[in-house]
Structure 1
Amino acid sequence: MFHPNINEYQLTSIIAECCGGVAVVYSAVCKSYNENVAIKRYFVDKSKEKANLIQQDILTRKELQHPNILPYLTSFVHGRELYVVSPLMNLGSCRDILDRYFQEGLPELACAIILRDVLLALQYLHKQFYIHRSVRASHVLLDSNGNVRVSGLRSAASMMVRGRRQKQLHSLPPPDHDNANLMWLSPELLEQNLKGYNEQSDIYSLGVLCCELGNGAVPFAEVPTTLMFTEKVRGSRPQLLDCSSFPEPLDDGEMKSMYNTDSGVGDSAEGMSRLRAAYAARKLSDNFHHLSDQLLQRDPELRPSATQLLNHPFFKQIRKTDFLPSLIGRVKPIKPDPDDISALILQEKLSEMEIEKTTEWDF
């Protein structure tokens, strides 16, 4: 049992700013168990508009427990800020890993393991009548023990409304701070028509994630929102890039219209040429291409369910002895920095403060 008390935790370093600047993630040590954890610190004054989303995230994580979903350990208010404690996923998110180490995409076997584990999480969520609605690489976290865990449940929606299961939902998920999530959303969810959408919209998002992991780049990132929306509704979709995808090399403009690399590589002609050469020189398996095509079907009824997809031949290549961290060996684990001045100063300030309960955050 992790204690909801700031004095139980020693902050060690800052990992990242997130949620549009309304939260910071720290690595910390839980003193009682001598265990590394991650603490997300929400600035209440900045996040009043997102209070319901944050509360939804915590309540959903409390309710849903699965090996491939990021566990909730505890949360508490200290001063005027909210702290949420989770296990430390010390390899970071798949988006971090792609940007820093694998701009050309992850090895195919690593993609298979990650996609399988995300599918297991989705299978569980869908059986609990939840739709995730924010499946993307930044919400898939890895650690050096080989765990793959899905986060981002603040966008999740229950299919149970007033005790009755709904066949379809119609509302858009809450927007992220920059509407970044739109690039992963299914055409039927974006359309917001009378047909609505169901858990199959997560399967489409998984297809976008499939291309994101395989290519290293964010699909549709360079396409204006309106054009991206129109193209998706018309059936245009991303694809895995290899020698079979473009026998004749694409020029830089065509590459950037399909994909973008925020790592800085794609911003230069040299970087774009290097990526293009890497894609043209490789051949991904037919099963990988077939999986991607199945996930990204325009008609949601043609997409297989999470349970059906777990039997796809693409996942047959995974052996029990395959260890994900070994397949992405160049990735360095997050190491807590005991000399991180910002964390040390914050710890000192926190120890001087009295805990102040507020009614705004009631879990």
Structure 2
Amino acid sequence: MFNPDINDYQLTSIIAECCGGVAVVYSALYKPNNQNVAIKRYFVDESKEKEKANLIQQDILTRKELQHPNILSYLTSFVHGQELYVVSPLMTLGSCRDILDRYFQEGLPELACAIILKDVLLALQYLHKQLFVHRSVRASHVLLDTNGSVKLSGLRTAASMMVRGRRQRQLHNLPPPDHDNANLMWLSPELLEQNLKGYDERSDIYSLGVLCCELANGAVPFAEVPTTLMFTEKVRGSRPQLLDCSSFPEPLDDGEMKSMYNTDSGVGDSADGVSRLRQVYANRKLSDTFHHISEMALQRDPERRPSATQLLNHAFFKQIRKTDFLPSLIGRVKPIKADPSDMSALLLQEKLSEMEIEKQTEWDF
């Protein structure tokens, strides 16, 4: 049990800003048992940002309900002043998106992709059995730890197939928009269409297919495509693919190459970077089973997509051995460490120590 008391936590450093600047994630020390944790600090004025407040509350309630080794667990939460603090285990290698941007711009090794994707599928298998659709499967919501664990986060946009006590065959509503519509690149065609057919848990399988390409290529698929064109292309059946010597579209000029990447990652910032990536893709060969599983997940017709359980039995995962250890496969990644010189965290801690915890709050977590 973790106490919902700010005085039991010592913030140690800032890990990341997220949710469009609405939240900051800190590493922290839980003083009663000297355990490292992550704390997400939200500042939400409920009167002005009711939708965001509801999303945060939904995230907490969903995480309380769902318990699985491959889903980021909820430890506790509390309100302090005008801010909400949510405590989770510290995943010391960070998110797959961070790892790709900082260490593996050309994509992760295939075996590392297999281990990560298998654990994400185990999380989805559990979620779908609990009648939830995740609706935000992407590399930034896949967290890794130095002990080899892989956990799926991002449950703010998860939706239950149970509505007013009755199981729905399909859902029809779009996930709540995030701060920059970033999630759209991973969403399935049927979810984006918003027609009478609706969508179900197989929409997550399509997103997993996009994740396959994201992990293997290092790029965010569709990142540089205008939103309207992306909608049209997805509905027409256009889909991302794994890049290697068998699928790499040659010839490709530097401008086209850059357009395939998320500019925030810095991948396409120089001619040298573009040339190096072209060389990497043209000289590598990913397994036929990797191509096959991504193609199956990215089927335009959701009826043709396998379930999470079926995908877990795919030959692609037979390459994984019990002795394979994910952190060793991505050894260049440096774990998150507390930074005693992080003045922002220290100043915040001082500010918190001077404040009084509000005894009454309109939010009940």
* Band the TM-score falls in, shorter-chain normalisation: over 0.9
Tell whether the 8 Å contact from 1:80 to 1:358 is kept in structure 2 after alignment: no
Specify the SS of the correspondent of 1:254: helix
**Distance in 2, Cα, partners of 1:348 & 1:172:** 41
Contact 1:77 1:358 survives alignment (8 Å): no
The 5 A counterparts of 1:1-363 are 1-45=1-45, 47-246=49-248, 248-363=250-365
SS of structure 2 residue aligned to 1:86: strand
Tell me the CA shift for residue 184 of structure 1.
0.2
Conserved? CA contact 2:146–2:327, under 8 Å? yes
Distance 1:91 1:166 in 2: 38
The structural deviation recorded for 1:203 is 0.1
Which residue identity is paired with 2:12?
T
Q: Is the 8 A contact 1:25 1:38 kept in 2?
A: yes
Name the aligned partner's letter for residue 189 of structure 1.
L
Q: Is the CA contact (8 Å cut-off) linking 1:247 and 1:280 kept in structure 2?
A: no
**1:89 alignment partner AA:** M
Q: Give the direction of change, closer, same or farther, for the CA distance of 1:41–1:47 in structure 2 (3 Å limit).
A: farther
Q: Quick one: distance in 1 between partners of 2:146 and 2:49? A: 32
Give aligned-pair identity as a percent: 88
Residue 263 of structure 1: CA displacement? 2.0
Q: State whether residues 8 and 31 of structure 1, in contact with CA within 8 Å, keep that contact through their aligned partners in structure 2.
A: yes
Contact 1:22-1:47 at 8 Å conserved across structures: no
SS in 2 for 1:125: helix
Partner Cα separation in structure 2 for residue 252 and residue 229 of structure 1: 25
Distance (whole Å) between structure 2 residues aligned to residue 26 and residue 120 of structure 1 = 28
Rounded to whole Å, the distance in 2 between the matches of 1:190 and 1:247 is: 27
Does the Cα contact within 8 Å between 1:243 and 1:281 map onto a contact in 2? yes
What stretches of structure 2 of length at least 5 have no aligned partner? none
SS state at 1:14 partner: strand
Mark the CA change 1:344 to 1:267 in structure 2 (over 3 Å): closer, same or farther.
Answer: same
Deviations 1:133-192 (A, max 9, x none): 000000000010001000000000000011111010000000110000000000000000
Structure 2 CA distance for aligned equivalents of residues 304 and 312 of structure 1: 10
C-alpha distance in 1 between matches for 2:3 and 2:148: 27
Cα pair distance change 1:170/1:247, threshold 3 Å: closer
Listed one character per residue, the Cα deviations across residues 172-221 of structure 1 (whole Å, up to 9, x for unaligned) are 00011000000000000000000000000000000000000000000000
- Aligned equivalents of 1:174 and 1:358: distance in 2? 28
Any idea what the Cα deviations from partners look like across 1:41-96, whole Å, max 9, x if unmatched?
A: 00123754400000000000000000000000000001111000000001000000
RMSD: 1.1
The one-letter code of the counterpart of 2:254 is D
Distance 1:194 1:328 in 2: 44
More displaced 10-residue stretch of structure 1: 14-23 or 123-132 = 14-23
Is contact 1:211–1:238 with CA below 8 Å preserved after alignment?
yes
